[in-house]
Amino acid sequence: ARLVEARDLHVQQAALTGESMPAEKEARPDDAATPLNERRDMVFLGTSVVSGTATAVVVATGRKTSFGDIAARLAARAPETEFERGIRQFSLLIMRTVFFLVLFIVVARIALHRGALESLLFAVALAVGLTPEFLPMITTVTLGKAAVRMAAAKVIVKRLPAIENLGSIDVLCSDKTGTLTAGTMSLDRSVDAGGASATRPHTLAHVNSRFETGIKSPLDEAILASPAADAESGKKVDEIPFDFERRRSSIVVEQGAGERLLITKGAPEGVLAIATSYEAAGGTQPLDEAARARACATYETLSETGLRVLAIAWRKVDTREAYDTKDERDLVLAGFLAFSDPVLPDAAATVAALARDGVSVKIVTGDNERVARHVCGQVGLDLTTVVLGDAIDSMTDTALEHVAEQATLFARVSPAQKNRILLALKRRSHVVGFLGDGINDAPSLHAADVGISVASAVDVARDAADIILLERSLGVLHTGILEGRKAFGNVTKYVLMGTSSNFGNMFSMAAVSLFLRFLPMLPVQILLNNLLYDLSQVTIPTDNVDDTYVREPQRWNVRTIRNFMLLIGPVSSLYDFVTFFALLHVFHASEGLFQTGWFVESLATQTLVIFVIRTA
């Protein structure tokens, strides 16, 4: 809705932007180029009024709203993940190989005047022998055991395939608030006008916040959560409430000797404009141009480090029944309070550990760039390239792909822009995980290869996520990624063993069947051989994993599987050809002895591949 009139209106729109502080709104039209989520003359479905009143004209409803756009994206089919793409490509490889093998054997044997039905049954048995039919069972058991281990490490898996995707992640995109930071405001420091540490501003602010009526802002809660000396004395006389034009609030209190004090807190620009003096070590000093410049430099420096700043000022007032905004004049500047959303204790160490293990972290946030820069600096992320939301709107998809790979921080981005960033990275063949906990994160959680949320997240985010962290810690996520790589390693063992050894065995049968006047192995023996060989691999899910699988992201690589199959398969066939020679020319084997002798040798040599394949 577009605001027509507004008075002291503050709206909590964290659901759309991730911004923890309520947004100030006014009826004055914004520039049309301003991103929708930053418009101060608009209010949105899914947000809530914290204070003030307004009249607005509805301009969009349902799916046409920002909130509706999120719902529409969640209802859409999720893009193909790395795991789904790998399984599809592997299935196509097996299908093409089986098709060629069956066709070749049937055509070749019929051309050599062998029985058509016998040739067809033999070819179909070979096709079944080449198919890794235990793959669904091996995969499910492996992922199931990994999910149990991850649950013990406080990582809950909602969808088993997400474990393999988790092990393949090479880019982790994270919303800042609530994932790298605690998601709550805390008092960082209390300083005087020159920036030196001082308790007086905090004491005065504590009195103001304690007596202030209405809904407490997150900054008020942070002030009151931090005890202040001599802040409990005094009695409230009157209040001059906050409004958008002044951007400050004042409380009049009466202290012990009947002395009344007006205490003002608010935006530094507004408070400095009505201050005429400041507190210094030698007492109250005039706020001349030089002193005012120093005070401005103090709060600007604090703001540039990502802190939110309030100015605190006071003056003595006469005794009377009521006070109004005209009394907010000739104030004495006590100093400034700076607030931060603290970074989680293990965030920096875990970001470094993820980088060491091949996962680059990118921050994608709806918050402003100053705050985001501060947080990224604290966790050790590269700030060479910072991309803002309005810049993303002017980029083509191709340009965004290049920028998304290079940049580490994306600030002031909308849910739709987050989606574009994730899809751009996926088009560059990255496996992308997204960590978020707000409604605005839900489309990105849906679009990522792995959507990761926390137990304290909103319901929509938890529903859209594949992985839920029971503890708000990147360290827990890192543990989950390593478990995903271990699971991937064990599944890969089965795939490589099945394709290479089975292919070699089937290759040998196909080759020798063209020269023998009888079948080298009966169809029932082929199927039994395949079953017993697969049974020997059911312990793979409990196997240890080589360190090479854990230290870097693991991905389905059909080219590697195909090359391994074409190399190791024929190598294993060499043992078969030696066996054929021995059976025919040393033992002068009959049909039954040949088939039985090769059945035993084939099963033994296939099973030995297990010991070859356990490490890279």
Catalytic annotation, pick one of 8, 170, 175, 576? 175
**Dihedral (C-alpha) 581, 587, 590, 593: value to the nearest 10 degrees?**
-90
Q: Enumerate the β-bridge partners of residue 283.
A: 280
Spatial separation of the C-alpha atoms in residues 549 and 552, rounded to whole Å: 7
Known catalytic membership, residue 175: yes
Strand 2-12, strand 48-57: pairing: antiparallel
Spatial separation of the C-alpha atoms in residues 336 and 328, rounded to whole Å: 17
Question: 3-state class of 542 per DSSP?
Answer: helix
* Residue 17 C-alpha from the chain's centroid: 16
Residue 592, H or E segment: helix 591-613
Which residues have C-beta within 8 Å of that of residue 492, sequence separation ≥ 6? 549, 554
**What is the side-by-side strand order in the sheet with 2-12?**
23-24, 2-12, 48-57
Buried b (16+ CB within 10 A) or exposed e, 489-499: bbbbbbbbbbb
Spatial separation of the C-alpha atoms in residues 548 and 524, rounded to whole Å: 39
Strand 235-240, strand 248-254: pairing: antiparallel
Question: In angstroms, what CA-CA distances link 309 with 219, 245, 297?
Answer: 10, 18, 12
Spatial separation of the C-alpha atoms in residues 24 and 26, rounded to whole Å: 7
The letter for the amino acid at 429 is S
CB 158 within 8 A of CB 420: no
Question: 3-state class of 240 per DSSP?
Answer: strand
CB 558 within 8 A of CB 93: yes
Give the single-character DSSP code of 583: I
Residue 222, H or E segment: helix 218-225
Which residues have C-beta within 8 Å of that of residue 46, sequence separation ≥ 6? 13, 15, 16, 65, 66, 67, 70, 439
Give percent helix, percent strand, percent coil of the chain, each to the nearest 5: 50, 20, 30
Which residues have C-beta within 8 Å of that of residue 543, sequence separation ≥ 6? 490, 493, 614
State the catalytic residues: 175
